[in-house]
Structure 1
Amino acid sequence: MSSPFTLAITGQSLIHHDVRQVQDGGFAAVKALIQRADIAFTNFETTVLGRHGGWPLKGSYFGCSAPVVLDALKDIGFNALALSNNHAFDLGPPGVLSTLEEVAERGFLHAGIGVDAADARRPGMKSFSTRQVALVAMDAGPGPATMYAADATDRRPARPGVNGLKVSRRFEIEPTAFASLTAIQDIFQSSSMERGNYAQPHDPPELRSADEIDFYGTIFSRSSKNRRQILVDEASLQGHLSTIRRAAAEGAFVIAYLHHHHWEPNWREVPAWVQSLAHACVDAGAAMFVSHGAPVLQPIEIYRGAPIFFGLGNFLFHLNEGETVWSSPDVWKSVVATCRFDASARLQSIDLHPVVIGGERLDAENYHERIVPIPAPKRMAMEMIEDLAARSQSHGVSIIVDGEHGAITSY
């Protein structure tokens, strides 16, 4: 018979340092909080440079880590990792193979990458005491098509990579701007090969009507107003929902995970397509939906009894010296969310514990020295919870400010 259980969720872990030797009382308190949970989940926002080697496939935003960082995550208390994100392919297929090898060796529940598409789509499954937990992890980019896992055909070998949720980005623009883009394209597209050349290494995007143009890989459509649309491919979506349905039908507690960088202009807002996706995952049987990518806290929703964490920001965020693009104070603030479920896996409550990476001096440009999270000071913690409560209220969630943490007890 199953028992009640707790599940701790944190922001993403972009980890390049072994933090086991960090002697800090605040960090010890955060670790103790995570270690009290039966299941502790984060996104492993990097790739492992291990036995299979690899080569950098990015410029400024490249990142890889030694296998020892996985030991550091275990020491913190994590036992479940999503692996599908924009850094998972930074070393190419060799990095994917090394990550799979090292994560499996340490016994993490994991999902989101694989030796081919079928393997990458497969849910991670692991028993925690009497509870069977399934993790379905996907990434929606944007990223090169070559980062996503592919099955072998009679003419192509399999490609290790990331489990992708296929989406397309289309820009609707007013007629005058559309005409200008069309004129520019006509000037330089003097032969049928020009479009083909710029399509490599990807296949050209598909056009749906004469009111659309492929402007060197980006779709623009003529419209009465200017806006960006993220369109989820229906076949890709249904494939992921089928995976969730099967895992739920087998009696597993299913965590559905999404990583993406298709943020709103205000990063703190929830994209409408992500909310629709989260609801679809829960309708298919997911007991929880978690998303990362935007490096800031986003609202929380409870849908049909399932908690939806649209974005918990960063838990670990290791930068290189001189990297200052992430200077916003919001990048360094997050919460550890502890969810309590009864023996029937029904949500009972959620506690939200504010943390801040590197301490409260968020005005100091020492971003590369911000190594570990600590509990947010009282005033900052209250401000963080009050802000999150105000934004979650529009999603029907009431967060109670209880001293230095928040609580969700009714929904």
Structure 2
Amino acid sequence: MEENSHDNNSRPARRADGYDTVGSIETNVADGFTMVAVGDLIVARPLMEGQHPGFDAVAEILRKGDATFGNMETLIFDIRSFKGSPQAEHGGAYHISLPEVGPDLKAMGFNIMGRANNHTLDWGLEGMRETGRILHESGIIHAGAGESLAEAGAARFLETARGRVALVSFTTSFTPMSRACAPAGEAPGRPGLYALRLTESIIVPPMMLENLRQVRNTLPNPGPHHKDLNRVGLARLTFKAGDKAGYSYEPHAGDVADILRNVRRGKQFSDFCIVTNHCHEPGNWSQEPADYEQSFARKMIDAGADAYIGHGPHQLRGIEIYKGRPILYSLGNFFYDDLRTPVGADMFALYGKDPRTDTDAEVTVDEETKGYPTADGFVGALAAPIFYESVISVSRFEQNRLAELRLYPIELGFAMRFANRGIPRLVNGPQGKAILERLQKLSEPFGTHIAIENGVGIISFGPSLER
């Protein structure tokens, strides 16, 4: 990695009295500042010393970033000395990693990570705290979880040679008991993750809405009627009339205001602010972001974020460039090395397995191939090639503008045996082209053009460095 240098001449001019305005939201990094970003890190073991074909080339890209980001979607601790337990609520599985994973991620090049996601409290507060301790001791900045709402939501800062980087991490996908809260009077605050609550509505044709209203009105004690005639509440679900069936989301106004404040504060104390959102909505099946997210992401940029990084659905979603800043709606999986053990008794029961005769791996394979059990069967399976294909994004800034965004296609070994899959390698040829062409198509609705040159996706800008 070449030596970084922080050229103050590349920064915006100061006011005549020598003081910058507190409210400035301009990017303020030295030329050549590079942000490397990937999606979900589901990794159970250290990888740097293993024999993993192609991974060295991946790590080389990670190490070139001034800020190299990933979403930490596992818990790190030693089960032999662990004092906690698997929780009755979990994020779909009990993710667990060996303690050596922390320093190993640092050796790969990761230096800043989001912590807020649906697995943050799989192993309770003890798992959350031990993971934070190991990341801290490994020299990796992390945000999104803490001993109170204020601590979980606070921006955390990475010092680099080209500028100070802030990170604000939150999630819309979380188990109810994992959400941090503030104190109220004599009641203390609650440890947990930084959450953005969403109110979900199901969109149905107007005629169907009227049928639902009739069903509702036949129920005993149906509850209060909506004043909005285009909305019906039924069995704790809300239905709205619309032209196209689907799902709609409304962010919690108080959560949005709190996040905006933390983004503004993060930018005031840094040169570059990253905002990251773990969002599965409307579901892992969807290649499009939820309907609230574009306007919400733009609000984050308007408040001072220099990049918005999404992850959660385990597959790629589109890219938007807004006011010269990247909005990456989902970067999919980066690691899917799902050798988790132990998985907890609840997981065995969930998939009809017996811990006396079945193995942790057999539970995991059922979870990924069948998905989540429901009354009608299984939904949400993740064992498909699309969940094992993604990109590494590399954003380079010049004159405090995004000059180029490069997208390196990766594949995580879908066809390999269970013990070897989930580790990324760069791909080119037909598979790499197909990944980039899919991302091209997903980004078109946002007005983003991705060129493909020598097997790499490129979003470039003219001499003015403006979009």
Q: TM-score range by the shorter chain?
A: 0.7 to 0.9
Pick from 63, 74, 86 the counterpart of residue 94 of structure 2.
63
Which one-letter code corresponds to 1:356 in the other structure?
E
Query: 2:358: which partner in 1?
Result: none
Query: 2:184: which partner in 1?
Result: 153
| Cα drift, residue 269 of structure 1 | 1.9
Query: 2:200: which partner in 1?
Result: 169
Matched residues in 1 for 2:52 and 2:218: separation? 62
- Whether 1:245 aligns to 2:245 is no
| Cα drift, residue 390 of structure 1 | 3.2
Which one-letter code corresponds to 1:88 in the other structure?
T
Residue 220 to residue 355, structure 1, CA distance change in 2 (3 Å): same
Which one-letter code corresponds to 1:8 in the other structure?
V
> In the alignment, is the contact (CA less than 8 A) between 2:336 and 2:422 conserved in 1?
yes
Equivalent pairs: percent with the same residue? Answer: 26
Show the 5 A alignment for 1:312-323: 312-319=331-338, 320-322=364-366, 323=368
Aligned CA-pair RMSD: 2.8
Matched residues in 2 for 1:5 and 1:29: separation? 21
Matched residues in 1 for 2:299 and 2:91: separation? 35
Show the 5 A alignment for 1:5-404: 5-49=33-77, 53-58=84-89, 61-66=92-97, 67-141=99-173, 143-154=174-185, 156-174=187-205, 177-178=208-209, 189=220, 209=228, 212=231, 214-221=233-240, 226-263=245-282, 267-319=286-338, 320-322=364-366, 323-324=368-369, 325-342=381-398, 344-358=399-413, 362=414, 364=415, 366-367=417-418, 369-404=420-455
> In the alignment, is the contact (CA less than 8 A) between 1:253 and 1:345 conserved in 2?
no
Residue 396 to residue 182, structure 1, CA distance change in 2 (3 Å): closer
Aligned partner of residue 331 in structure 1, secondary structure: helix
| Cα drift, residue 381 of structure 1 | 1.2
| Cα drift, residue 44 of structure 1 | 0.4
Aligned partner of residue 48 in structure 2, secondary structure: helix
Which one-letter code corresponds to 1:68 in the other structure?
E
> In the alignment, is the contact (CA less than 8 A) between 1:382 and 1:403 conserved in 2?
no
Which one-letter code corresponds to 1:19 in the other structure?
L
Matched residues in 1 for 2:176 and 2:90: separation? 17
| Cα drift, residue 154 of structure 1 | 3.9
Query: 1:405: which partner in 2?
Result: 456
> In the alignment, is the contact (CA less than 8 A) between 1:298 and 1:310 conserved in 2?
yes
Deviations 1:97-122 (A, max 9, x none): 22222222222121111111111110
Gaps of 5+ in 1: 196-204
Which one-letter code corresponds to 1:28 in the other structure?
D
Matched residues in 2 for 1:401 and 1:383: separation? 11
> In the alignment, is the contact (CA less than 8 A) between 2:310 and 2:328 conserved in 1?
yes
Aligned partner of residue 150 in structure 2, secondary structure: helix
Residue 377 to residue 367, structure 1, CA distance change in 2 (3 Å): farther
Query: 1:202: which partner in 2?
Result: none
Residue 52 to residue 305, structure 1, CA distance change in 2 (3 Å): farther
Matched residues in 1 for 2:267 and 2:39: separation? 25
> In the alignment, is the contact (CA less than 8 A) between 1:169 and 1:228 conserved in 2?
yes
| Cα drift, residue 377 of structure 1 | 3.7
Deviations 1:175-206 (A, max 9, x none): 6655665666677756x9xx8xxxxxxxxx99
Which one-letter code corresponds to 1:311 in the other structure?
S
Aligned partner of residue 292 in structure 2, secondary structure: helix
Residue 173 to residue 76, structure 1, CA distance change in 2 (3 Å): same
Which one-letter code corresponds to 2:388 in the other structure?
W
Matched residues in 2 for 1:221 and 1:389: separation? 32
Residue 155 to residue 74, structure 1, CA distance change in 2 (3 Å): same
> In the alignment, is the contact (CA less than 8 A) between 2:153 and 2:259 conserved in 1?
yes
Matched residues in 2 for 1:106 and 1:150: separation? 28
Aligned partner of residue 10 in structure 1, secondary structure: strand
Stretch of structure 1 that moved more, 92-101 or 258-267: 258-267
Matched residues in 1 for 2:242 and 2:428: separation? 49
> In the alignment, is the contact (CA less than 8 A) between 1:46 and 1:64 conserved in 2?
yes
Deviations 1:135-192 (A, max 9, x none): 0111012x333211012334533221110112111124456655665666677756x9
Deviations 1:269-300 (A, max 9, x none): 23331111111111111100100011111111
Stretch of structure 1 that moved more, 275-284 or 388-397: 388-397
Matched residues in 2 for 1:163 and 1:27: separation? 32
> In the alignment, is the contact (CA less than 8 A) between 1:57 and 1:91 conserved in 2?
no
Residue 208 to residue 87, structure 1, CA distance change in 2 (3 Å): farther
> In the alignment, is the contact (CA less than 8 A) between 2:171 and 2:279 conserved in 1?
yes
Residue 129 to residue 389, structure 1, CA distance change in 2 (3 Å): same
Deviations 1:21-72 (A, max 9, x none): 3213401111111112221100001223465523333468222323322222
Gaps of 5+ in 2: 1-7, 9-28, 339-363, 370-380, 462-466
Query: 1:201: which partner in 2?
Result: none
| Cα drift, residue 302 of structure 1 | 0.9
Residue 281 to residue 156, structure 1, CA distance change in 2 (3 Å): same
TM-score, structure 1 as length reference: 0.86
> In the alignment, is the contact (CA less than 8 A) between 2:182 and 2:188 conserved in 1?
yes
